[in-house]
Amino acid sequence: MKSSLTLLLVLSSLNVSAGVQRNIVLDKEVTNKNCEANDTCTLKNFSLQVSDYVVTSNREKSYGTNAYISYETEDIKHIEDYGIVQFIKGCVYNESVDKNGKSVKRKGIARKFFGSYHKFIHPEWVIDSIDKDPIYNSSNVSDSRHDYYRWNENPNSYSDEGEHYILRDYPTHPKVYVSDLPSTSFISGDEAKNTNLVFKTCIYKTKDIPRELKPEDINFAKPIQCLEWSTSNVYNFKTKKYEKDVSVEESCGDL
């Protein structure tokens, strides 16, 4: 989602005014083996780093997850030969408990999705994109679909320091990345905002990714590699704590 840029800027500002605790929960790199079979030997690897975080401000806490998705090619001339497409399933919703102790779920949260606003409920796998171009963080600024892909002067860093967008500065080394910062979860009054999402993040040859698809067109091509991750913070009104082990089917099934 291109909106992840705005969310990252918000989180950066919170780092100054609030306490942020981070914990890397997944750090995985897969090498591109057997590349001759699909003519992708210019792609060296595909990586995913996922962190859970808690922001504390004025004694209130919000819970979220941040993911960095990167890939490395043999040479910078091959960077735009590959593109990332992400798939999503799950929901973001508000929940409270009525006077009889019964759960009341409210599905009023919306997100920008394929050019319009859509309730943040995806019972089946769909492409995760804010516009009709399925490439994650795709750009409509120029003919390139990779303008919003980023690179860092330090190839091992995802820090703001030394970070550049392809739109402004073309990479000096062949490793680029995108990021995702899905919806956060927090308590507001007697209502909890819950997030329960799972993702499949895949890399393809760019030429195999159509410039326009529908959300349900998930089998448009065979991916080179896929990595899975999730963000789950569902409030338990009995224990008064957020839980991470609630299944998508359990929390989203009746929405």
Q: Which residues sit opposite 126 in a β-bridge?
A: 88
Whether residue 178 contacts residue 69, with contact meaning beta carbons closer than 8 Å, is answered with: yes
Domain hosting 92: range is: 4-252
How many CA atoms are closer than 13 Å to the CA of 110, on its beta-carbon side?
Answer: 8
Does residue 16 have a pLDDT over 90?
no
The band of 58, judged by pLDDT with boundaries at 50, 70 and 90, is confident
| pLDDT of 8 above 70 | no
Q: Place 18 in a pLDDT band, splitting at 50, 70 and 90.
A: low
Helices (H) and strands (E) in the chain, counts: 2, 15
Instruction: Reply yes or no on whether the pLDDT at 17 is more than 90.
Output: no
Q: Specify which residues 198 forms β-bridges with.
A: 89, 230
Q: How many CA atoms are closer than 13 Å to the CA of 56, on its beta-carbon side?
A: 5
Say yes or no to pLDDT of 103 above 50.
yes
Q: What is the model's pLDDT at position 143?
A: 84
Taking the C-alpha atoms of residue 77 and residue 146, their distance in angstroms, rounded to an integer, is: 13
SS3 per residue for the chain: CCCHHHHHHHHHHHHHHCEEEEEEEEEEEEECCCHHHHCCCCEEEEEEEEEEEEEEECCEEEEEEEEEEEEEECCHHHHHHEEEEEEEEEEEEEEEECCCCCEEEECCCEEEECCEEEECEEEEEEECCCCCCCCCCCCCCCCCCCCCCEEECCCCCCCCCCEEECCCCCCCCCEEEEEECCCCEEEECCEEEEEEEEEEEEEEEHHHCCCCCCCCCCCCCCCCEEEEEEEEEEEECCCCEEECCCCHHHHHCCC
Mean pLDDT of 227-243: 97
Q: Which tops the pLDDT comparison, 150 or 18?
A: 150
Summarised one tens digit per residue, pLDDT across range 133-179 is 999 999 888 889 999 999 999 999 999 999 999 999 999 999 999 99
Kindly tell me if the per-residue pLDDT of 9 is higher than 60: no
> Is the Cβ–Cβ distance between 88 and 231 less than 8 Å?
no
Distance CA 107, CA 251 (A): 12
Domains of the chain: total:
1
Taken in order 204, 112, 162, 229, the sign of the CA dihedral is negative
Structure-model confidence comparison of residues 246 and 12, the more confident one: 246
List all residues 6 or more positions away from 227 whose beta carbon is below 8 Å from its beta carbon.
28, 30, 46, 48, 69, 200, 201, 202
Exposure class string for 94-118: b at 16+ Cβ within 10 A, else e: bbbeeeeeeeeeeeebebebbeeee
Closest CA to 8 of 146, 121, 158, 170: 158
- Reported pTM: 0.91
